[in-house]
């Protein structure tokens, strides 16, 4: 499918409402997705600290201590991360199927619930959920996976910007739905060729289509609609659909704009290869020489994602090859790497974890694009 972010590359503070129908209180497991969140909620001795700290009523130092304690004690189930990811895909597919059949969703309850769960996991430091965003997918499932991935990564950036839980949820819903208008132009977008001018102009209407769909849903948050309508705007005024600049663009939309392009770059398309997460970060910096993106938010994005993002495959100076599983913000060139291949490029019977920030004689020699390697990475 032709991504509009690729086309653009070639061509040169809000109130904090709760989701509709929700009270401002700590949600119970029944208000979320019981089958995917029971383990989180039953560990309330730790998890409640997170919710309380993120609500914004604690002193700074005490807030950080509560979050740190909660993360330390919480043992995240990696298989649960995969189940949450899969459930998110099911929910967005249901929404898009309704829109494609010309049925406006009556509410977004399922979306608010799954975004709330994902936000909890991101606050708890779920790197597995972030790593899942680097996986491959088929052209038919592209839009579903893209929306879920952008939601996950946008929430991580929101956390880096200091958003409380309410703002994270609103940002997450906007990111989860940011490209829903594409369902109206999929017959054009899926063409495996260069599009003509008329087709390009039609695809560039998808933010309007998306915002129109959402505006018909009762009690939809304004911040969500802003994301859908403005995430293709650029701070230098070269974006669309209205050519907005700087402070005219909603901050949530500025976050999703960066993540949208990054996520598109790292995945294969029918008309081009994907690039490694490391190369995608460099490409974002290159693109921003023309001030496409908000520099402050781009800086937070890179600090959170890392120069070698979670999920990125790298070769060390020892010849070993591994997958980045954790980014060290204080040492961006020295993440934690799960070593999978020996110096002889033989798959190890058991992987080994290496924190490069504690092994100063070992460093990353280069990033590796699995799509261009003969090794069997998965």
Q: Express each pLDDT in 286-328 by its tens digit.
A: 888 888 999 999 999 988 888 888 888 999 999 999 999 888 8
Q: How far apart are CA 159 and CA 222, in angstroms?
A: 20
Segment 80-128, tens digit of pLDDT:
999 999 999 999 999 999 998 888 888 899 999 999 999 999 999 898 8
Beta strand ranges found along the chain (DSSP E)? 313-316, 321-326, 336-341, 347-355, 364-368
86: nearest Cα among 23, 33, 154, 39: 33
DSSP state of 26: P
Fold classification of 4-305 (topology level): Hypothetical protein af1432 (1.10.3210)
Residue 179 near residue 210, CB atoms below 8 Å: yes
Pairing of strands 313-316, 336-341: unpaired
- Which spans in 161-247 are helix H? 165-177, 186-189, 197-203, 206-215, 222-230
Domain with CATH 1.10.3210.10 in the chain: 4-305
261: nearest Cα among 283, 278, 241: 283
Cβ contacts of residue 243 below 8 Å, gap of 6+? 233, 237
Q: How far apart are CA 92 and CA 178, in angstroms?
A: 11
How much is the pLDDT for 67?
53
Specify the 3-state DSSP secondary structure of 260: helix
Residue 148 near residue 176, CB atoms below 8 Å: yes
Q: How many CB atoms lie within 10 A of CB 135?
A: 12
When pLDDT is averaged across residues 247-275 and rounded to a whole number, the result is 87
Segment 217-240, tens digit of pLDDT:
988 999 999 999 999 999 999 999
pLDDT tier at 32, thresholds 50, 70, 90 = very low
How much is the pLDDT for 272?
61
339 DSSP β-pair partners: 322, 352
> Which helix H or strand E contains 335, and what residues bound it?
none
Q: What's the pTM value of the predicted model, to 2 decimals?
A: 0.78
Q: Tell me how far CA of residue 262 lies from CA of 41, 68, 150, 286, in angstroms.
A: 32, 29, 9, 12
């Amino acid at each position: 499918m032709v991504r509009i972010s690729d086309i653009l590359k070639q061509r040169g503070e809000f109130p904090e409402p709760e989701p509709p129908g929700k009270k401002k209180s700590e949600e119970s497991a029944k208000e979320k997705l019981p089958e995917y969140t029971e383990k989180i909620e039953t560990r309330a001795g730790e998890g409640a600290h997170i919710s309380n700290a993120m609500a914004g009523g604690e002193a700074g130092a005490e807030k950080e201590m509560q979050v740190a304690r909660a993360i330390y004690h919480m043992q995240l189930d990696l298989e649960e991360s995969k189940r949450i990811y899969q459930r998110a895909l099911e929910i967005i597919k249901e929404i898009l199927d309704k829109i494609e059949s010309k049925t406006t969703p009556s509410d977004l309850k399922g979306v608010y619930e799954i975004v709330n769960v994902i936000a909890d996991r991101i606050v708890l430091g779920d790197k597995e959920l972030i790593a899942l965003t680097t996986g491959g997918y088929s052209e038919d499932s592209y839009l579903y996976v893209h929306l879920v991935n952008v939601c996950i990564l946008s929430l991580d950036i929101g956390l880096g910007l200091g958003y409380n839980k309410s703002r994270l949820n609103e940002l997450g819903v906007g990111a989860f739905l940011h490209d829903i208008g594409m369902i109206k132009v999929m017959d054009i977008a899926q063409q495996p060729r260069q599009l003509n001018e008329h087709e390009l102009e039609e695809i560039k209407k998808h933010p309007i289509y998306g915002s129109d769909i959402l505006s018909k849903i009762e009690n939809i948050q304004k911040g969500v609609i802003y994301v859908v309508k403005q995430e293709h705007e650029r701070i230098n005024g070269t974006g669309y659909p209205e050519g907005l600049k700087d402070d005219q663009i909603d901050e949530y939309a500025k976050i999703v704009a960066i993540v949208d392009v990054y996520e598109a770059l790292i995945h294969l398309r029918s008309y081009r290869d994907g690039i490694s997460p490391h190369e995608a970060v460099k490409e974002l910096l290159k693109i921003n020489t023309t001030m496409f993106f908000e520099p402050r938010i781009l800086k937070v994005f890179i600090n959170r994602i890392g120069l070698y993002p979670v999920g990125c495959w790298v070769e060390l100076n020892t010849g070993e090859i591994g997958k980045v599983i954790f980014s060290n913000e204080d040492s961006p060139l020295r993440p934690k790497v799960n070593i999978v291949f020996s110096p002889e490029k033989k798959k190890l019977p058991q992987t080994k974890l290496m924190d490069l920030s504690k092994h100063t004689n070992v460093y990353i020699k280069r990033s590796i694009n699995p799509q261009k390697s003969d090794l069997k990475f998965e």
